[in-house]
Structure formats: structure tokens, C-alpha cells
Amino acid sequence: MNLNSYRFFRLLTNASVYVVLTFFAVLMLFPFFYMLSTSFKLPADTFRYPPRMLPRDPVSSAVPGFDEPLELYYVEYQGERREFALARSNIKVGTYAAPEAPGIVYERRLSEVSPTGGAMNQKTVLFNGEQEKLFDVEVDGQVVPMVLLSQTTVGEFIDPQNPEVKVTQNVRLSEPVENINWHPENYSEVIALRGLDRALTNTILVTILVVVGQLVTSVVGGYAFARLQFPGRNFIFVFYLGTVMIPFVMLIVPLYQLMVLIGWSDRLAALIVPWIFTAYGTFLMRQHFITFPKEIEEAALIDGASRFQILRTILLPASVPALATQATFTFLYAWNSFVWPLIIINVGNEKNHVLTLALNVLRGRASDTPNLILAGAAIAILPPLIVFILGQRFFVESVASSGVKG
């Protein structure tokens, strides 16, 4: 292989690598783009097929002689594609034919024909083996009794500049004139209508308290495991480690009963207090503190510093990345948790709903407005995403390292 063909080969592999990576990146991001774009749409726009990414609004135009602006549609007029305004819809049109000559059909509005012989005793005729009603249809100035073959609904479209020019065609099959328009008011609407503001407040409050509480208990606990000799330490540590793999659902029944016993069911305290004490977080902090050089601490001890002072003034300032990592983990866990709130907070008690619960309620109530549902979903998904983007670097690194060590 000569150098040029080698270079070409390298270029080709690199290009294909980027193609594969981009494909997966689009796959990963597409649902989020879909969520965001839909959350800015109008309800009617979300139900359109084929689906479109960008939110669009129907365009209306003021037409002389009409109080309200009329929606514009594309219509075929004298071989041209023109933007016409929909002046009237729901106009019923029938296809009529004389019983003797069913091949020749005439289209007339239902309002233009009258029953043959009057509405009270309308005449009928045997047509295709059935008795069909007869209608008086005017053809070239002559009235001919005909039968109604079929019936559709059309709209009357007029030229906005020249309202005399009219075209009738099926409204549903006509393509509306649209422009791209975003509807951020969907967010305020979903917040106001479905009480998402309260849920958002609750989620922030619960998340902050869980994160702070967990950091405190796992920092002091992790320090005890890493640095202090006390009887039972190794036993308790092994016990802690063993419980890390126990699935959380094992606990929901007894924890629920415990909460009922102490009167915390349906209370926000039940979403906070049990989750402050974590074996996994303590384990992570212990792993972090154990890497710390012992000598500094020993020097401080000789100088008469207490253990607490050492922890606060020496170890903690040097542990900001580890603390941030654990805070991010806990933040995600607390923010996204659903099963426990679902069990402990009543569906009816909307005052104490967190975001995930509110979304669950919203899903049932607003099933006809996907734009609002997905605006709600975006409210729940975006804050963790922002936290992730801010702390992206060491968050991903720490997930990686937990895998290697674990």
C-alpha cells in the first residue's frame, strides 16, 4: 500500500466514524428536539400528518366585508396556486343525477335544491332496487327531478384582494398557508393551568434538602470510615457495601408503613428524611477521603485541632470536586424520582406533588394537548440537563471512575 492510498483509506475510515457517531448523536437527541419543538406548537399543529419539526401557525388575513380575519389556504385558481381566504366552511354539496341517466352527474349545494313535490310528500323513485327520494335540480334553466348520489362538505374560498372571486373545494384536503411561529405561552399556560409551579417549588425544595442532608451525613460518615478507628467499623462497612445492591423496591412496603405510623404519609418530609441517609454516598466519600495524605491531618492533630476542625478546614475545601459530583448524582436522583412519591403522596393532594407526579396527572388530563404535556416534560427535564451541562466534565469522569473501581 503506498502512502497516498493509505491516506485516502484513513480519510475514509475517519469519515465513516463521524457518520456513525453523528447518526447515534441524532438518535440520542431527536426525542429532546421533538419535545422542545412540540412544546412550542399549537394543539392543532401537533396532530398534523406528516409531522413537522418546526412549530407553525395558520396565517389569517383581513378581508373586506368580514369582521374577523380569515384563514388563508392554497387553492388552485385558473391554473395558478393562489392564497385564498376561507370565507365559509361546512357547505354541504350533493352529487345528483337523473334516475334515467345516472352517468351524468351534477354538483349542487343542498340549499339550492328542493324536494320534488314539497317537503311533506316528497316523491320517490325506484333506483338501483331501492326507493330513493327525488329532488328538483335546475339544469340550464330547467328543473329536473334527480336522486342524491353522494354528499360532501366543502368550503368557500375567496380572494382576499377581490372578494368576488370564489372557489369551493374540500377544506380538509386544502393546504393551509402557514408561517413558523413559536408559542412560549404554552409554558406559562401549563404552569398556571396544571399547578406545575407548585410542583416545581416542591421539587426544588425536596431536592435541595435531600442534597444538603445527604452531603452532610455521607461526609461525616465517610470520614469516620476512612480515618477513624473504632470497634465495629469494618463490620458496619461491609454491611453498608452489601446493601448497595439491594433494590429499592424491597423497601417500599415497610417504609410506607413506617411513614403511616409516624404520620408522614402524604407529607413532603417523607420525600426528604428517608433519603438523607445513604450507604452508597457514604461509600463514595470514604473512597475519596482515603486517598488523602494522612500526614497533614496528623500534624493538625498534634497542634490540638479536633477531628471536626480537621474535616471542616482541611479536608472539605480540598474535596469540592468530589462533593460536586455527589451533589450532582443526588440532585438527579432526587429530581427524577417517581416511584416513592407516587406511593407516599396521594393523587388528590396536589399541593404536595413533585414534578414527576404532576406530569403523571397531566398525562391523563391533557391527553388532547401534546404541546402542553411536552412543555411539562421539558420543565421536568431541562433543569437536570442544565446542571449536567454546567458540571459535564467531572460528572462524566466520575461516572467512568465509579465503573472502573466498582
User: Using CA atoms, how far apart are residues 380 and 400, in angstroms rounded to an integer?
Assistant: 26
Q: Is 248 in the site for other proteins (CB under 8 A)?
A: yes
Closer residue to other proteins, CB minimum distance, 208 or 296: 208
Q: In this chain, which of 162, 188, 234, 243 binds other proteins, going by CB under 8 A?
A: 243
Strand partners, 143: 138
Q: With CB under 8 A as the rule, give the number of residues binding other proteins.
A: 109
Q: Is 356 in the site for other proteins (CB under 8 A)?
A: yes
Shortest Å distance, C-beta 279 to other proteins: 6
Residues 72-131 that bind other proteins (CB under 8 A): none
Nearest to 170 by CA among 76, 104, 82, 42: 76
User: Using CA atoms, how far apart are residues 344 and 341, in angstroms rounded to an integer?
Assistant: 5
Buried b (16+ CB within 10 A) or exposed e, 365-382: ebeebbbbbbbbbbbbbe
Site string for other proteins, 167-206 (x = CB under 8 A): ------------------------------xx-xxx-xx-
Q: With beta carbons less than 8 A apart as the criterion, state whether 256 and 341 touch.
A: no
Nearest to 166 by CA among 242, 88, 112, 230: 88
Closer residue to other proteins, CB minimum distance, 101 or 396: 396
Shortest Å distance, C-beta 365 to other proteins: 13
Shortest Å distance, C-beta 255 to other proteins: 5
Q: Is 32 in the site for other proteins (CB under 8 A)?
A: yes
Shortest Å distance, C-beta 9 to other proteins: 12
Residues 268-297 that bind other proteins (CB under 8 A): 268-269, 272-274, 276-277, 279, 282
The tally of CA atoms less than 13 A away on the side-chain side of residue 37 is 15
Shortest Å distance, C-beta 57 to other proteins: 18
Using CB under 8 A, which of the segments 54-62, 103-111, 168-176, 372-380 binds other proteins? 372-380
Q: Is 363 in the site for other proteins (CB under 8 A)?
A: yes
Q: With beta carbons less than 8 A apart as the criterion, state whether 208 and 268 touch.
A: no
Q: In this chain, which of 298, 339, 347, 365 binds other proteins, going by CB under 8 A?
A: 339
Placement of cell 417523607 in the chain: 270
Strand partners, 234: none
Shortest Å distance, C-beta 97 to other proteins: 35
Using CB under 8 A, which of the segments 1-9, 166-174, 290-298, 398-406 binds other proteins? 398-406
Element (H, E) at 215: helix 196-227
Start-end of H helices in 122-162: none
Residues 294-333 that bind other proteins (CB under 8 A): 307, 332
User: Using CA atoms, how far apart are residues 377 and 32, in angstroms rounded to an integer?
Assistant: 10
